[in-house]
Each structure stands twice: as C-alpha cells, then as structure tokens.
Amino acid sequence: GAGVSQSPSNKVTEKGKDVELRCDPISGHTALYWYRQSLGQGLEFLIYFQGNSAPDKSGLPSDRFSAERTGGSVSTLTIQRTQQEDSAVYLCASSLNEGYEQYFGPGTRLTVT
Amino acid sequence: AQKITQTQPGMFVQEKEAVTLDCTYDTSDPSYGLFWYKQPSSGEMIFLIYQGSYDQQNATEGRYSLNFQKARKSANLVISASQLGDSAMYFCAMREGVTGRRALTFGSGTRLQVQP
C-alpha cells in the first residue's frame, strides 16, 4: 500500500520568504507527526496531531512555524520569514494511533539561502 | 538530562557477524515504548522493532532483537548475521505514554558500517 508522501522533495528559498511543506499520511492513520533533522540538532519533534484533539505544538521552535491538518488527513507545515537556521530535512510520520510505530515519509530538504 | 543516549557514534562489523548497538533511556513515566529505526543513505526512516515497557519478553523481528534491561534502562539492538545492506544510521527512540510527550524522542544515532 501507499506510504507517507511528502512534497516537495527539495525546496530552495531565499531568506525571509514563506514556505509550505505538505504531508500525506497513510490512509486510516489518525496520528501525524512532524520532525526536523539537521546536522547540529539531530532529530527534533515539531508538532503532533491526534484525531480531533488539539495538536501538541510544544516542539515548534518559534512562532514563525505553524501547521494544520485538514480533514484528519493531509497536513501542511508553514514556515514564515525563513531563516538560514531553518535549513534542514523536514520529516513527516504517521501512525495508526498514538503509541503505535510511526511510519516516515521521505522528507523535504529545505535550503534557505 | 538526555532522554535517549546512544554512546557509539560509529560501529564496524564484519559481514555475517552479529553486532549490538547500545541505547540507554531516562524516564519516570511508568508506561513507555522504545523503538529502533534505520536510516540508510537514501534518508528514509525505516521502523525496525518496538518494545513496550510492560512487555515481559524481549522483542524480536527477523534478524533484529531488542535486549531490554528495564532496571538498567537499556534497550540495545542486536543485529544477527549482518549484511552489507545493514550499513546505515540507526536511531533509538522513546515515546512516553502517560506524563510525557507522545511523539518520539530520538537519540543521536549510531552509524553502522558492515565490511565484506
């Protein structure tokens, strides 16, 4: 079956621009997670959606970062006024329910110039 | 304090031999889960194995087994009969079930290189 998909696979943007990253989770998975992987920081949690509950935003590094999940499926991570330190691979994962293993997408490599 | 500690930045193993990748964790949550993921050079994170804090037996999945020592707070991954395709980064991760974050907290990873 189809796995988690993310788009775009690569994004190069100029400092100060806004970017949107998209995640399509596995069908039927109620939990969706965003992580960031960078050389200096390893893998960091950003935000977590579970069903209709309020998202856990505790990992978002600043108010320039936001995310939404529409219809309990597709999610969009938005970074406003991008900075060079935002350059990283952004990974999306989904799981059948919270507590189950998470399946990751291929990631979006963001480069801020 | 680090929640997940992987003390081996890099490991080498000969093809067909077994290798143990270390992972220790820190939590006061009585319910938690421990996960191992593989990340090849292609970048995708691949789920390998899961151990729940209340599981009585060590988890096994094919050539992967998890040496879970709860009192020592360790959850080492054992790969038997290493193959060249096992060369990758390996991450240990924890999810805290009751009081902690439900998302995964990852260790810094161990880069495994399998030599022919």
Tens of pLDDT, residues B12-67: 999 999 999 999 999 988 889 999 999 999 999 999 999 999 998 999 999 999 99
Taking contacts as CB-CB distances below 8 angstroms, the residues of chain A near B103 are 33, 35, 45, 48, 56, 59
Residue B104: CB atoms within 10 A of its CB come to 26
Residues A86, A61: Cα–Cα separation, whole Å: 10
Q: What pLDDT is attached to residue B54?
A: 92
- Confidence at residue A5, expressed as pLDDT on a 0 to 100 scale: 96
Say yes or no to pLDDT of B100 above 90.
Answer: no
Measure the CA–CA gap between A42 and A35, rounded to whole angstroms.
10
Reading chain A (113 residues) residue by residue, the pLDDT tens digits are 589 999 999 999 999 999 999 999 999 999 999 999 998 778 999 999 988 888 999 999 999 999 999 887 999 999 999 999 999 999 999 998 877 889 999 999 999 99
What pLDDT shows up at residue A52?
Answer: 83
- Tell me how close the Cα of A3 comes to any Cα of chain B, in angstroms: 11
**Distance from the A81 Cα atom to the nearest Cα atom in chain B, whole angstroms:** 26
Of B33, B37, B91, nearest to A99 by CB-CB distance is: B33
Model confidence over B67-87: pLDDT tens digits?
999 999 999 999 999 999 999
pLDDT for the residue A2: 84
CA distances, A12 to each of A81, A99, B42 (Å): 14, 34, 19
- Nearest-by-CA chain B residue for A38: B108
Given CB atoms, is B100 within the 8 Å cutoff of chain A?
A: no
